[in-house]
Amino acid sequence: AQSVAQPEDQVNVAEGNPLTVKCTYSVSGNPYLFWYVQYPNRGLQFLLKYITGDNLVKGSYGFEAEFNKSQTSFHLKKPSALVSDSALYFCAVRDEMNRDDKIIFGKGTRLHILP
């Protein structure tokens, strides 16, 4: 069965600094990897995905993520953080090889951008 881990409950970054939100995964086959953002009392918004191809994927709002197969990681990054980036971020994984592949989410990382 697939699994995903977000080792940090909270990440604090000063505005203008680069940010990284960590994610590691485990699947039997090839992973489909996703990042979502959630603002208070709202649903999740899709940010970006990795299916195949270039290991660096770019998404919405200036976010990008790097797929690292050897480290089974898919960290979310942004070169310069904005206060408006403060939110709850979820990493998710889907196993391409598993017919019953549901999308599994990490527990979430709360990102605080300090002005």
Binding residues for another protein, how many (CB under 8 A)? 22
Among 73, 106, 111, 114, binds another protein (CB under 8 A): 106
Q: Least Å distance between CB 68 and another protein? A: 20
Among 11, 31, 32, 81, binds another protein (CB under 8 A): 32
Nearer to another protein, 82 or 88 (CB): 88
d(CA 68, CA 22): 12
Element (H, E) at 20: strand 19-21
d(CA 38, CA 88): 5
- Contacts by 42-45, CB closer than 8 A, 24 or more apart: 44/90
- Segment interacting with another protein (CB under 8 A) among 23-31, 33-41, 61-69, 79-87: 33-41
HSE at residue 98, side-chain half, CA atoms within 13 A, is: 18
Q: Is 103 in the site for another protein (CB under 8 A)?
A: yes
d(CA 7, CA 69): 18
Q: Is 108 in the site for another protein (CB under 8 A)?
A: yes
Residues near another protein (CB under 8 A) are 32, 34, 36, 41-46, 49, 51, 90, 92, 94, 100, 102-108
